[in-house]
A = this chain, B = another copy of it.
Amino acid sequence: MDADTGLPVVGMIGAGQLARMTHQAVIPLGMSLRVLAASADDGAARVAADVEVGDHTDLGALRSFAADCDVVTFDHEHVPQEHIAALIADGATVHPGPDALRYAQDKRAMREEIARLGLPSPRWTPISTEADLAEFGVPCVVKTTRGGYDGKGVFVIEDVSDAAELLASGVDLIAEELVRLRRELAVSIARTPSGSTVVYPVVETVQSGGICTEVIAPAPNASPALIERARHIATTIADAVGVTGVMTVELFETADGLLVNELAMRPHNSGHWTIEGAITSQFEQHVRAILDYPLGSVETTAPVTVMANVLGGDSPIPPDERLRRLMSHDPAAKVHLYGKAERPGRKIGHVTVRGDTIDNAFARARTAAAILRDGIDTTTKEAT
């Protein structure tokens, strides 16, 4: 507990944009996020008062960090399992715990658990040789079981020989069928250590090249049965694996129903819309959940909310001028910049637009993101 405020100290390992937005969310709760940053330049380290710089694979650094926290949580999924177990053995409160986190760290373990729960996945199998891959059948998707995110560690394989180098590398791999999908959806659930849950509205995530470009909340044209099914999947997984905090289930919608794509055991890009679009943002909700506080309302604040990611580009127009141009173009667009150095393709921020109709909000959000990236409205060109 903070001696002055009488409120708990929440620590987050990792200081990227999720930590940055979590710090923003805990300020109104009277708290200040304590962050373990890889570098003093990290997005959250630039804005938080209580920053320790250290390596998340260094148990000594983790122990020193955790000692001053009432609860420890994660900006990313890269902290080794054995280190988390060691912190818990020391007496630290860690959420999500290693059991739940395992399913976000290891895609094979996740697929096995989803199967055990009787929930649908794409057809999949572990592979270690070209013969395994040939037997499974190509074209297909090959994934490293660990370390993948944002399309990294995911490979579309047309021909068995395309996977030769990957197979020779010795990393653990699974093959998954190339799903004929209608679209991608996501559903986020928050669960407390006491077992309370709230489920956010199901959203549609628009992807391009393996990266989410826009999120539409709530998902348009989603039948009550589809929504109920998505909620059932999220609740079943959360209860079974003992999730604490926010978990997001990425889903494929196919002609035959929903398939589980990926799990994230933390606030997720598909939930950034909640900062403006829901009464309780996913970041505040995650903190409430890991503190075992009563969960917040997940009601929406507008008929439609659209979030568009801003990817780094190579614009000659300075960031300050791009920001001014967006503000001039759309005085109601909500900007979120992560304090990151810009590199082409790197997520450097997002924009959220609330509206009454999907088409209007989607076009505005996409245009806003383009102006922040390029300094001009490049969406008309893109659409052709």
Which residues from chain B contact A49 at a C-beta distance below 8 Å?
45-49, 51
Contacting residues of chain A (20-48) with chain B, CB-CB under 8 angstroms = 20-21, 23-24, 27-32, 41, 45-48
Nearest-neighbor residue (CB-CB) of A3 within chain B: B341
The answer to whether B45 and A5 touch across the interface, beta carbons within 8 angstroms, is: no
A21 to B319, CA, bound (A): 24
Q: Is A334 on the interface with B (CB-CB < 8 A)?
A: yes
Q: How many residues of A contact B (CB 8 A)?
A: 54
The answer to whether A6 and B47 touch across the interface, beta carbons within 8 angstroms, is: no
Which residues from chain B contact A5 at a C-beta distance below 8 Å?
319, 337, 339-341
Which residues from chain B contact A21 at a C-beta distance below 8 Å?
27
Q: Is A8 on the interface with B (CB-CB < 8 A)?
A: yes
Q: Is A338 on the interface with B (CB-CB < 8 A)?
A: yes
From residue A382, how far is it (CB to closest CB) to chain B in Å?
23
Q: CB-CB contacts of A2-18 with B at 8 A, as 1s and 0s?
A: 00111110000000000
Question: Most B CB atoms within 10 A — which of A4, A46, A48?
Answer: A46
The answer to whether A296 and B337 touch across the interface, beta carbons within 8 angstroms, is: no
The answer to whether B27 and A327 touch across the interface, beta carbons within 8 angstroms, is: no
Pick the contact of A335: B8, B29, B324, B349 (CB < 8 A): B29
Q: Interface with B: A59-67, A168-176, A252-260, A297-305, which one?
A: A297-305
Q: CB-CB contacts of A94-107 with B at 8 A, as 1s and 0s?
A: 00000000000000
In addition to A5-B339, A293-B323, 8 A-B residue pairs with Cβ atoms within 8 Å of each other are A5-B337, A5-B340, A8-B320, A30-B335, A30-B338, A48-B49, A293-B324, A297-B332
